[in-house]
Amino acid sequence: MKRVGLLRVARRFVLVMGAGALGAVVCSTGVYLFVPAPVETTGAGQSGGGTTLRSAPARTTMGTSERRALDLLRRAGRAPAEINYQGTKLFKSWSRWGQMTTTAYIRNVPGQGVTVVANDGSGRGVSGQRSSQLESADVKPDLSDSALATLTQAYRVQIGGAERMLDRAVTRVDVLRLSGTVVGHIWLDDATGLAVQRELLDTAGRVIRRSVFTGLSILPAVAAAPSPVSDVSDCADGLSAAQLADLAEEGWDLPGTQLAGLTQVCARTVGTGADRSIQLSYSDGLFTLSLFAQQGRLDPAVPAGFSRRQVGSTDVYLRCGLYRELSWARSGMVYTMVTDAPDSTVTSIVEAVPTVTPDDGVLARMSKGIRRVGSWVDPFH
């Protein structure tokens, strides 16, 4: 049975993982551009099902605060196409496995997209080793009508209050689980509509992601030119339900359209021949993940920055950064996940995938391989 190096594949293709209505992008180096994608679900931070839809119908029953909050979010969605700006931004991520901090220079030109030049990450995992993991930035949120409809199927939004940041008047919009607990905040500049800070919280109320402008300059208006940026979240080349069913017949153990409160928004083939893998992208409008699956064994050559950890009852390779990268092997399959989802969601996914119980022979072979390899530290994302 072949050995698989999915960590390399995951890093190469993370740009297509998409993002939720508050935005997210991850990439491997220096300069990058981003466009996110909408999805429907009931939320990674709460239980529930949902159906596989590119966008969801908006709820018809909304209070005044929620309607006003949605109006502000729609304005924020239009702002990058209208506002010429530059600034510096701080990004932080926390989890039980570690934390990550990095900064970046942001430049937005209407019609040309967002350019991000990120510094090296400064985070350290719980082992004390420095993480040089992928740079990540919550840069250009998808606040289209369809994305906001998706968001409001899984969460509620409301006006949180008036505040000041960077000597500018801002309005805080709170994102709440359907249970009423807060899952996120986004601060919107009153003058321009730009999102100047974002926070995501876990179910215990702890901040697990934060992105905030530490400096922001509004520049003179420029004539908008046609954007050369293609939508990296496009799923025109995605696999159909029939093609996924054929893969299952061939022995590919892949999760379905719902995964730990996240809804599958795209499935595609990555690579060919021996390097072929299947990428499944999931989101709930706030949190995202890409799951790469490949038949074979986990490569025993441990990549730099990764170490052996146990997530639930499963041995994994884990790397902590603004997004978490985890890789594990069972039942003749190797899975690599890149995500910013809460720790509890990560654990439930690792425990749920693969979906079938492996035979004893496969388990024995995999456990030997895992012992030879080790596992990762930290996280997203």
Averaged over successive runs of 10 residues, the pLDDT of the chain (381 residues) comes to: 54 41 37 25 44 40 88 92 94 88 90 78 38 41 68 90 97 94 96 95 91 96 59 70 93 92 88 87 85 86 81 89 86 90 92 69 34 26 25
Domain(s) labelled CATH 3.30.200.100 in the chain stretch across 241-375
Structure confidence at residue 3 (pLDDT): 55
Is CATH 3.90.550.10 the right assignment for the domain spanning 241-375? no
Structure confidence at residue 86 (pLDDT): 96
**Among the four given CATH numbers 1.10.760.10, 3.40.640.10, 3.40.50.300, 2.50.20.10, the one describing domain 64-218:** 2.50.20.10
Structure confidence at residue 285 (pLDDT): 77
Assess contact for 85 and 219: CB atoms under 8 A: yes
Of the candidates 343, 241, 258, 252, which has an alpha carbon nearest to the alpha carbon of residue 292? Answer: 252
Structure confidence at residue 203 (pLDDT): 87
Structure confidence at residue 37 (pLDDT): 27
Structure confidence at residue 228 (pLDDT): 45
Structure confidence at residue 337 (pLDDT): 93
Structure confidence at residue 284 (pLDDT): 81
Give the integer Cα–Cα distance in Å for 189 and 225. 24
Q: Is 345 exposed, middle or buried (0-12, 13-18, 19+ CB in 10 A)?
A: buried
Tokens, residue 272: 């060919």
Structure confidence at residue 298 (pLDDT): 79
Structure confidence at residue 8 (pLDDT): 53
Domain(s) labelled CATH 2.50.20.10 in the chain stretch across 64-218
Tokens, residue 65: 């605060």
Structure confidence at residue 113 (pLDDT): 81
